[in-house]
Chains A and B, each alone.
Chain A
């Protein structure tokens, strides 16, 4: 029995993916390989789940790609702001040669990279005004994640990026310790940040992929038939979850609007893209421009 760990609540699409994966793997291996799901970080935070998947304490992990880029800094290029022109572009890159090379890197760290499910585009919420141009970001105290590029981006746009644990973010938004946050809309929805925010602007400033990976020894211990099933099901589950993600984004936006969040779709993406380019430089300086060029070459 394989232990499948992820950090999302069981209302999240990550759980849908996990359930699909567990059901199909069991079905197609005739019950020889079974999967038990541990959602919501029950087996530890992202760091612990990934360490667990490397040492075999956990068998399968699904976590933000950003949590793997410490080990595999080259893949940080996939996390840069405005790297992908569209979702289709992102899927082509991640499912193509660039993505395959990325998954191959996991093996050095004791993991078999399976696929890149979707966390979604990151969008800004705040409680003062809709964000239409880069100038609208100035002056916001904005909670960001631990991506250096995003911190650089918002600092360059004269916002004040701050790190806070996500569990404390709701209260911090409510009292005004920070007045803005940026997450994919499903997180804004499941953590109920809409209860303490007024505006959601679809800035889509970064595409966040997840990584689905399995302990390498456990993978190699499977028969080649079973390995094939695991890879197939991972790809199908990812395709299904991405499709649901697009559908769900619209339905979540509807729910958020119904809950009183003002949704702003009028964002000058071209201006944001231009403003974001300098944040690619430090990545390029450290890792070369090979991956960035390759991604931009995919049409």
Chain B
């Protein structure tokens, strides 16, 4: 009943055209009234504290880095190089995007930050190359959610703590499914572009490629600096975002000399506004989560699972459906914090490997980041890429389908995750 009220108000308001952030607040207020808890303090505390989060500061930094790379000439040079290498293949930039997403996933622990970086850097290139916008956006959003699966990963750390699972094992176990997600994207993209009319330029000559490589050297150094800096412990993944921004500013202003002071000011303002759009939504989602928690909506559903203990696969399937449903309307961190402690006892009773469960949970909630009506990564992609919500939803649909299929495969054959995990952990 309470769940129904919440979903009715949320989905109804969004369909009517209420901005998603305010629709979340409205559904939270509806729960407040329903539970006789009406209080502006709840709203203000949850919203402001939801925004007040140092780990999410990577978002504005990656936005500045992306905008600067695009205005300051770095992106143009990377495109030129990428195009000279794979441009003659149909949809070549898409493959560049997938490779970039997997590399970024190995650098950063946050899907939101990765998706912001991917969209800010790659979407303009894909637009210039006249790729279908919706599928470009869908690909970049789906690429972004590989970040929490491949280590380092904030969600894997949180689930390790919440479910008392080894974080090292989760990290090592995440590599294989993360790469499989990347491979699934490659196949999906290949299938999508097959039917699209995309012009493909002539294959570049070796000489062109060399020129493009030399010209793009400074831009190409950026991922090297980021990877090297994180792996050698010079900075954290969050701080890597600021290093990327400073590097992009320095190269654009001092080496390429393509960044003027007024242009830089515009970058700062635009990034600030895009940050605000994304983070205000995060804050509003935290208000809704607070009330969902107090109303104990997930618990009501979780108790229904107990009869399935005798059949691990069926239990896993039921859990994954539950997580998927919760993940549609709730953000990743609160989903983990609320459901994992509740499900863990059932999972252990059923004899399911906790590391496997943890990975499945994070993969599933990561997919939730790109499903409407509440998908944080989807929101980021729209905000950063200036894309209509409807376009993003349509574009991301085929990728969600493929990810679900992958998830089903992991439920049917847990060894797909467990066997490679044993290779790494010994």
Contact = CB atoms under 8 A, between A and B. Distances in A.
Q: Do A and B bind each other?
A: yes
Interface of A: 3, 9-11, 38-45, 47-48, 51-52, 55-57, 164-165, 167-168, 170-172, 174-177, 190-192, 195-196
B45 A192 contact: no
Contacts of B152: 171, 174-175
A177 B235 CA distance: 6
A44 B294 CA distance: 12
A222 B238 CA distance: 47
Interface in B44-75: 45-46, 49, 52, 54-55
Interface string B395-413: 0000000000000000000
B49 A44 contact: yes
A10 B54 CA distance: 24
A299 to B, nearest CB: 40
A191 B236 CA distance: 18
A45 B160 contact: no
B279 to A, nearest CB: 16
Contacts of B154: 167-168
Contacts of B338: 42
Contacts of B321: none
A41 B337 contact: yes
B167 A43 contact: no
B235 A191 contact: no
B372 interface: no
Contacts, number: 94
Given A39-B341, A192-B160, A195-B166, A172 B49 contact: no
Contacts of B109: 168, 171
A57 B162 contact: no
B260 interface: no
Given A171-B109, A191-B161, A192-B167, A44 B45 contact: yes
A190 B157 CA distance: 11
Contacts of B158: 167
Given A51-B45, A57-B41, A165 B54 contact: yes
B167 A44 contact: no
B162 A40 contact: yes
Contact of A192 (B166, B233, B293): B166
Nearest to A50: B45
Contacts of A196: 168
A171 B49 contact: no
A175 B161 contact: no
Nearest to B293: A42
6 contacts: A9-B162, A43-B294, A174-B152, A177-B233, A192-B160, A195-B168
Contacts of A39: 341
A196 B239 CA distance: 20
B237 A40 contact: no
Nearest to B54: A165
A176 B160 contact: no
A41 B52 CA distance: 15
Nearest to B238: A168
Nearest to A193: B167
A132 B180 CA distance: 48
Nearest to B239: A177
A3 B291 CA distance: 12
Contacts of A55: 39, 41, 45
Interface string B273-309: 0000000000000000010011000000000000000
A57 B236 contact: no
Given A42-B338, A167-B55, A168-B238, A48 B45 contact: yes
A162 to B, nearest CB: 10
Contact of B49 (A3, A45, A192): A45
A174 B167 CA distance: 11
A61 to B, nearest CB: 12
B234 interface: yes
A233 B389 CA distance: 53
A10 B341 contact: yes
Contacts of A168: 55, 109, 154, 236-238
B55 A175 contact: no
Nearest to A190: B161
B391 interface: no
Contacts of A43: 290, 293-294
A39 B338 CA distance: 9
A47 B236 contact: no
Interface string B203-238: 000000000000000000000000000111111111
B232 A176 contact: yes
A38 B293 contact: yes
B2 interface: no
B156 to A, nearest CB: 10
A3 B42 CA distance: 13
A132 to B, nearest CB: 25
B311 interface: no
Interface string B362-404: 0000000000000000000000000000000000000000000
Contact of B236 (A48, A177, A190): A177
User: Quick one: which of A47, A177, A195 has the most chain B CB within 10 A?
Assistant: A177
Given A52-B41, A52-B42, 11 more contacts: A9-B341, A40-B341, A44-B49, A44-B290, A167-B158, A168-B236, A172-B233, A175-B236, A190-B161, A192-B160, A196-B168
Which 3 A-B pairs give the minimum distances between C-beta atoms?
A: A176-B233, A175-B233, A48-B49
B164 interface: yes
B15 to A, nearest CB: 30
Contacts of A45: 49
B347 to A, nearest CB: 15
A196 B337 CA distance: 23
B109 to A, nearest CB: 7
A142 to B, nearest CB: 14
Contacts of B161: 9, 190-192
A1 to B, nearest CB: 10
Interface string B163-193: 0101110000000000000000000000000
Contact of A195 (B52, B167, B239): B167
A47 B424 CA distance: 40
B334 to A, nearest CB: 8
